[in-house]
Amino acid sequence: MMNVELLDALLASIDKQEPVALVTVTRSRKPEQVGRRCLIWLDRPRLGRLGLSRQQETWVEHAARDALRKGEHRLLRDEENALELFVEVQQRPPTLVIVGAGHIAAPLCEIATLCEFSVTVIDDRPLFANRERFPKAARVIAADIRQTVRELAMDENTYVVLVTRGHSLDVECLLEIIDRPLAYIGMIGSARRVRAVFELLHREQGMPREKLARVYAPIGLPIEAETPAEIAVAIMAEIINVRRGGQAISLAELGRKSHL
């Protein structure tokens, strides 16, 4: 059985949506090692010992942190020592940041929540960015858009959708996030608007075209979406496609191929 200290720490991390790995010895030449557990985080010392050698403990810690970063369970084997361990990853949910609280943002928030994303909505208009319109969002922020995007914590588990009311805001937001290690950046707009934004960034900001290639724009999968809800479906489908390594061809990719 898991001891109380480990169980309390595991439950606390799950409640706080902190990534944590539970490592269990499932096979060993030494019967007393089987069933021993420890918790490993990315940003703090481990909790618990497995009763292994220092070299083995270090190997397990590195492997568990790698599994945490990749968000995948893992079976570790050391055949030479007849050792087997299971790494069970408790991953925090992916975050979707919707920049712009207009007519597409509301259904997108609903669909993303159903897909178990933690959603943050940002807009500088309190009339649009409020709890009444986004009751299921984790956070709704009514403040200066560029400053909020600049200060918001984002990482490789963050997906950003730019659905602002004007291309000048898109430019400002892209300047803030283009160099961050995000899982996804998508931008709404027609092919013409997208080209205008990209050209402006390249010409006036000196942004390399290769860097802009990571932006999914026009956004979504090519399902001939028309209504706000349909466009939200197309966007969320693209995000899932990126997250799961799917094979669907995005509008952005089709657009790039047409200019080859």
Ranges 146-150, 192-196, 223-227, 231-235: which has the least confidence: 192-196
Q: Which CATH architecture has domain 95-258?
A: 3-Layer(aba) Sandwich (3.40)
The DSSP letter of residue 79 is G
- Of 141, 198, 188, give the one whose Cα is nearest residue 163: 188
| Residue of 15 and 21 predicted with greater confidence | 21
CB atoms within 10 A of CB 29: 9
Collapsed DSSP state (helix, strand, coil) of residue 83 = strand
Per-residue pLDDT at 17: 77
Mean pLDDT of all residues in the chain? 91
User: Measured at the alpha carbon of residue 234, what is the angle toward residues 179 and 210, in degrees to the nearest 5?
Assistant: 30
Three-state SS at 157? coil
Cis peptide before 218 (omega within 30 of 0): yes
Domain boundaries, the chain: 4-90, 95-258
Per-residue model confidence (pLDDT) at position 260: 44
Q: What is the pLDDT of residue 210?
A: 83
Report residue 124: phi and psi, to 5°.
-95, 10
Instruction: Judge if the upstream peptide bond of residue 126 is cis by omega within 30 degrees of 0.
Output: no
Residue-wise pLDDT for 24-69, tens only, equals 999 999 999 999 999 999 888 999 989 999 999 999 999 999 998 8
Q: Which two tokens stand for residue 195?
A: 């080209």
Q: Which two tokens stand for residue 135?
A: 């009751």
Full-model pTM: 0.75
